[in-house]
Chain A
Amino acid sequence: MQQRRILDEFTVNHELLRGNLATPKWWLPTVLGLLVVVLFGFTLMGIMFNRGLGVTGLSRPVYWGLFITTFVFWVGISHAGIMISAILRLTQAEWRRPVTRAAELLTVFSLLTALFFPLIHAGRPWRIFYWITPYDFARGIFPNARSPLVWDPFAIGTYLTGSTLFLYVALLPDLGVLRDRTTGWKRSFYTVASLGWRGNPRQWRLQTVAGILLSALMLPIFVSVHSIVSWDFAVTPAVEGWHSTVFAPYFVVGAVHSGVSAVVTMMALMRWLWGWDNYIRPEHFDALARLLIVVACAWLALTFAELIFGVYSLEAPERALREMQMFEWPWNLLFIIFFLTGFAIPVPLWFFKRVRNNIAMMFWTSILVNIGMWLERFLIIVPGLSRKQPFVFTWDSYQVSPLEWGLLLWSFAWVMMLMLLFSKFFPLIPLFETKESQVFTTDVQIGRVTMPAVIRELD
């Protein structure tokens, strides 16, 4: 099946710069609506700073709750970018091309969102510099390098820097195009931003080398970020459900699962909002869904290991925890929803080619996955804390406060607003990748069959 359309470069420029050179009608009202939610969220943060963390539902055994869950969730989403851009670039998957920019963007913005949560969740957020800055501030005390909470800022900071660079390097050729098509202050802005891009062979070679180098360098960071986030939990023997060796790969694979699903959601929205039917085609959803099936099955195997080893020890506290997590109201309901949305509904659906090629179905199933993945983190963090060791006097549960729900909502609005603002100034689908793909793909006639073909370098 050949869905590729042959487009000339004028059409590509015209269609992909639709959001930048003109403003769609829905853009401003949507951004303003999101801005209201975002400001509301910042107000909630202000209330929390002013009155203390008592306004959340956190309690004595459950010291970490929705904020940390959401932190892990957004760090997880951020794994989309490198998975799609770096890994698929290194394995030369041709279908990645229209997806890369959106995925990298999601990485940067979800990391920017994730960063908020541990910081606002600190008891005295005005002092977090003592924690996240490797400097002694005249106190004579550097941050404690043994604490996983100190590994986090390093990992996330490196990841954020790297993926921003990655995004920017891939943006350069497109900024050149924009510079040539704008006037006034916009032109000055793009002139500075495009760093003198003229598209000569040397610049292209450097840009390609930079892309490949960054891909290779980002891969270990990509793996380390969520591993380190998982070690926040796994190194703690005091909490029964957390001290599990499988956590690092489990979190990484789960992050890819939710991140790639988030990219699917975004692609469907991009196709609908900007009408980029020529670029984001069912075949791309098909390929992403195939990738997701593999990732989801790996994730299921790791989930299975995590749960079976929870019971394996046959020790009373661990059993009490698992009993609560899986069988006690309302956790059993959450557990069922988690399993259904994270795996049991979407993955069997993706086995059908018709579902994989149906954009609305892919949109909804990818949203389901992220509901499930959020619940997965919640089900790891909260029941573990509420059934901590055999001191039953301190067993208790956790009620999420409206303020916390509000900040969860804020995080989504914040990411969407950043995305929409970005889309106003920069193209969401890389122009140069699209044009390159036009050149690099063709048809080949074998016997009576015509099949799509790609050009590969000989090694």
Chain B
Amino acid sequence: MVTAAERVSSHKWGMVVDVDRCTGCQACVMACQAENNIPLSTEDIYRQKRTFAWIRVERYWYGDFPDVKARFIPIMCQHCENAPCEPVCPVFATYHNTEGMNVQIYNRCVGTRYCANGCPYNVRFFNYWEPVWPVSLRNQLNPDVTVRSRGIMEKCSFCVQRIRRGVREAARDGHDLQDGDIGTACTDACPTNALVFGDYNDENSRVSIMAKDDRKYTLLDALNTDPNVLYLAQVDATGGAIGGHD
């Protein structure tokens, strides 16, 4: 039996999003869709206002006409240390694990959707229907990821299946886990390296270094959620740093 002390992990996973590098290409959205067996957001589902996107790219207009610029912010589950979704779940379907991740246990979920109301970032998704894929896509489903049934919540898992595989393979091969060994689907797909995934407990990891950047901010920090996803503000020759949504 594993005791609680042994279960405490040496990792603290997190992500840093350099907003300055984001071009809004949506590659992360597509990669996440493919990796995590996310139900298809068809036109019908869109009209029902029930689209799924564990990571989404929000677009804002910045500046006054004619100097208008489009700005992009990728938003996924912030894996808050102080998550508002966790205490409100009546059945502990969502809880905080020892690796700094906010995890969703599908089997426990009864679908009260209270966590989704509690989430200020709106990154939790409810399966209103049993998900279906066209025949052509059925073989594309990722066997490492559960296909969620109807009536439960789901959200970004930091590609927990990739983390587990990375740790397992490192142990099998007998070497230490290096920064960059584990990437989530979105970070791997990002062409400009705007998204970086890593371990905050590793002082030399890219995320630890980026977290010391002056441009660092967190989304909706007034809510005191203490996210594990950090953002680096956009630097603009004309407008200076743009700090999120103040």
Contacts and interface: CB of A to CB of B under 8 A. Distances in A.
- Verify whether A and B have any Cβ pair under 8 Å: yes
Interface of A: 51-54, 56, 58-64, 118, 121-125, 127-128, 130-131, 139, 141, 143-144, 146-150, 232, 235-239, 385, 388-394, 396-397
Given A52-B151, A237-B223, A385 B112 contact: no
B122 A394 contact: yes
6 contacts: A53-B151, A54-B128, A60-B49, A124-B109, A139-B108, A147-B87
A54 B110 CA distance: 15
Interface in B56-111: 56, 58-59, 75, 84, 87-92, 108-111
A438 to B, nearest CB: 51
B117 A148 contact: no
B125 A60 contact: yes
B116 A63 contact: yes
Given A122-B111, A143-B90, A237 B120 contact: yes
Contact of A130 (B87, B91, B220): B91
B117 A64 contact: yes
B133 interface: no
B152 A124 contact: yes
Q: Which of A125, A143, A232, A236 lies at the interface centre, i.e. has the most chain B CB atoms within 10 A of its CB? A: A236
A63 B125 CA distance: 10
B208 interface: no
A389 B151 contact: no
Contacts of A392: 58
B119 A141 contact: no
**What is the predominant secondary structure among interface residues of chain A facing chain B?**
loop
B136 to A, nearest CB: 23
Nearest to A390: B245
Contacts of B89: 144, 147, 149
B231 interface: no
Contact of B48 (A54, A236, A393, A394): A54
Q: Report the contact-size class of chain B (Cβ under 8 Å from the partner).
A: 35 or more
A78 B118 CA distance: 27
Nearest to A397: B49
3 tightest A-B CB contacts, nearest first: A123-B111, A123-B151, A59-B49
Contacts of B144: none
A62 to B, nearest CB: 8
Given A54-B150, A63-B116, A150 B90 contact: yes
A141 B95 CA distance: 12
A388 B49 CA distance: 15
Contacts of B125: 60
Contacts of B114: 147-149, 232
Interface of B: 48-51, 56, 58-59, 75, 84, 87-92, 108-114, 116-122, 125-130, 150-153, 220, 223, 245
Contacts of A148: 88, 114
A338 B119 CA distance: 29
B128 A118 contact: no
B49 A131 contact: no
Q: Which of B75, B92, B111, B112 lies at the interface centre, i.e. has the most chain A CB atoms within 10 A of its CB? A: B112
Contacts of A146: 87-88
B126 A123 contact: yes
A391 B50 contact: no
A139 B105 CA distance: 13
A122 B89 CA distance: 12
Contacts of A385: 117
Nearest to B151: A123
Contacts of B113: 63-64, 123
Contact of A236 (B111, B117, B220): B117
Contacts of A58: 128
Contacts of A238: 84, 117-120, 223
A59 B130 contact: no
Contacts of B127: 52, 123
A329 B126 CA distance: 27
Contacts of A128: 110
B41 to A, nearest CB: 10
B111 A144 contact: no
Q: Which of B51, B92, B108 lies at the interface centre, i.e. has the most chain A CB atoms within 10 A of its CB? A: B92
A149 B245 contact: no
A236 B118 contact: yes
A60 B50 contact: yes
A421 to B, nearest CB: 31
Nearest to A121: B112
A314 B62 CA distance: 22
A390 B245 CA distance: 7
A4 B127 CA distance: 61
A1 B245 CA distance: 66
Contacts of A62: 49
Contacts of B110: 122-125, 127-128, 130-131
B88 A391 contact: no
Contacts of B245: 390-391
Given A141-B91, A147-B87, 17 more contacts: A56-B128, A118-B112, A123-B150, A124-B109, A131-B112, A141-B108, A144-B89, A146-B87, A147-B88, A147-B90, A237-B120, A238-B84, A238-B223, A388-B120, A389-B122, A391-B75, A392-B58
